[in-house]
Amino acid sequence: MNETYSNEIELKAKQGMPMLIFLIFLMLAAIAAVILGANWIAKGPRLLHQAGAFLRTPWVGGFLLTSGILYLCLGWIPFLGLKILKPQEALVLTLFGKYIGTLKGEGFYYVNPFVSAVNPAAQAGLTMASEDQNPPAAMSHPAGTVKVALPTRKISLKTMTLNNNKQKVNDELGNPVEIGIVVIWRVVNTAKAVFNVDNYKSFLSIQCDSALRNIARRYPYDVADGGEEMTLRGSSQEVAEKLKDEIQSRVGIAGLEILEARITHLAYAPEIAAVMLQRQQASAIIDARKMIVDGAVGMVEMALEKLSQNEVVQLDEERKAAMVSNLLVVLCGNRDAQPIVNSGSIY
């Protein structure tokens, strides 16, 4: 049965500096024991002939020499328990395969030298449609130098950014659109991040892709004529909130917190971009013409009303219709009107 880790154990470790001094002292003592033991075996009985009976025993030199050599061979093991943590870093420690706790907080610590740090995302970066946040070792040939990025077992607790590449998805109407997002996230539970998923960075990337497709198919790219529903282009704030909640519900098992999710790129797919641009242009032209006609009709009504009120000229219905037609042609035309002077009677 698979066990799901939910509780993070914060490990209380000893200070590393006193242990470092003590281990160095033991190493120096082992070196002194080797030197003293060798001299004891070679000429100890002659140099220490006035010492007590215990010191004149032949096995003392062998014991010092053997103990010193043995500690020099194994004395490096306690040094493995020294750990250095920078701000916003953590170490998930296991002892013979069992989770014993997480070491947090900047400082110099000493833990059991037989523990091992676990970080499955140390050597593998983000996969799928995302940028690799842990690129492999790179060799710089032009400069003649070799730069090797060694994997670290430490888990960063800093706020990080996941910038997924653009994806082609279908909106609610089935139109293919290209959309890209940026996700601000951090690790809040190291036990979940390490033990509940194989690679929490790849898991986050895949879940972001899946959540983005699920959210994009619920809304159209743009609102229809007279519609007031939410759209990807017009309701970016609301869509971002729903996207954040969707991703958080998926990555909670990995101990991750989603701080923000924003759409960084939104456009029609290239295969329909030209057609949809023509549609938008046609819609804009229609709206502009409608505004022009409404304004022209209002100006004609105002002109007829002013002429009637001021009794400048009396027009019958036929002449009013001709005047309205001429004014609408002048006001709604695409080109400037060419005046024509009538030297005769209007009747």
Per-residue pLDDT tens digits for 104-122: 988 999 999 999 998 888 7
- Considering the domain architecture, whether residues 81 and 33 belong to the same structural domain is answered as yes
- Considering the domain architecture, whether residues 172 and 259 belong to the same structural domain is answered as yes
pLDDT at 204: 93
Q: What is the DSSP string of 83-141?
A: EEE-TTEEEEEEETTEEEEEEESSEEEE--TT-EE--TTSS----SSB--SSPPPEEET
- Considering the domain architecture, whether residues 66 and 51 belong to the same structural domain is answered as yes
Query: Would 122 be classed as within a structural domain?
Result: no
Which residues pair with residue 102 across a beta bridge?
10, 92
**How many domains are contained in the chain?**
3
pLDDT at 270: 74
Q: Domain end: 117, 139, 167, which one?
A: 117
Which residues pair with residue 156 across a beta bridge?
89
pLDDT at 141: 46
Secondary structure of residue 267 in the 3-state scheme = strand
Query: Would 85 be classed as within a structural domain?
Result: yes
Strands (DSSP E) contained in 189-320 are: 256-268
pLDDT at 225: 54
pLDDT at 325: 74
Query: Would 2 be classed as within a structural domain?
Result: no
Query: Would 137 be classed as within a structural domain?
Result: no
- Considering the domain architecture, whether residues 75 and 168 belong to the same structural domain is answered as no
CA nearest 102: which of 90, 111, 110, 114?
A: 90
Phi-psi sector, 107: left (phi>0), alpha (psi -120 to 50), beta = left
Q: How far apart are CA 85 and CA 107, in angstroms?
A: 5
Q: Domain end: 215, 237, 268, which one?
A: 268
H helix or E strand, kind and range, residue 14: strand 14-15
Query: Would 188 be classed as within a structural domain?
Result: yes
CA nearest 152: which of 66, 90, 97, 109?
A: 90
Could you tell me the two tokens for 104? 């947090």
Q: How far apart are CA 82 and CA 21, in angstroms?
A: 11
Q: Domain end: 241, 268, 295, which one?
A: 268
pLDDT at 226: 53
Buried b / exposed e over 62-93, threshold 16 CB at 10 Å, is eebbeebeebeeebeebeebbbebeebbbbbb
- Considering the domain architecture, whether residues 324 and 239 belong to the same structural domain is answered as no
Q: Which residues of the chain have pLDDT under 70?
A: 1-5, 43-59, 123-151, 224-228, 272-282, 311-313, 315-316, 326, 328, 330-331, 333-347
Query: Would 234 be classed as within a structural domain?
Result: yes
- Considering the domain architecture, whether residues 221 and 309 belong to the same structural domain is answered as no
- Considering the domain architecture, whether residues 161 and 255 belong to the same structural domain is answered as yes
- Considering the domain architecture, whether residues 240 and 310 belong to the same structural domain is answered as no
Q: How far apart are CA 194 and CA 100, in angstroms?
A: 13
Q: Specify the pTM.
A: 0.68
pLDDT at 250: 93
Q: How far apart are CA 329 and CA 333, in angstroms?
A: 6
- Considering the domain architecture, whether residues 315 and 251 belong to the same structural domain is answered as no
Domain containing residue 113: 14-117
- Considering the domain architecture, whether residues 254 and 191 belong to the same structural domain is answered as yes
- Considering the domain architecture, whether residues 246 and 318 belong to the same structural domain is answered as no
Query: Would 341 be classed as within a structural domain?
Result: no
- Considering the domain architecture, whether residues 164 and 252 belong to the same structural domain is answered as yes
CA atoms within 13 A on the CB side of 21: 3
Query: Would 227 be classed as within a structural domain?
Result: yes
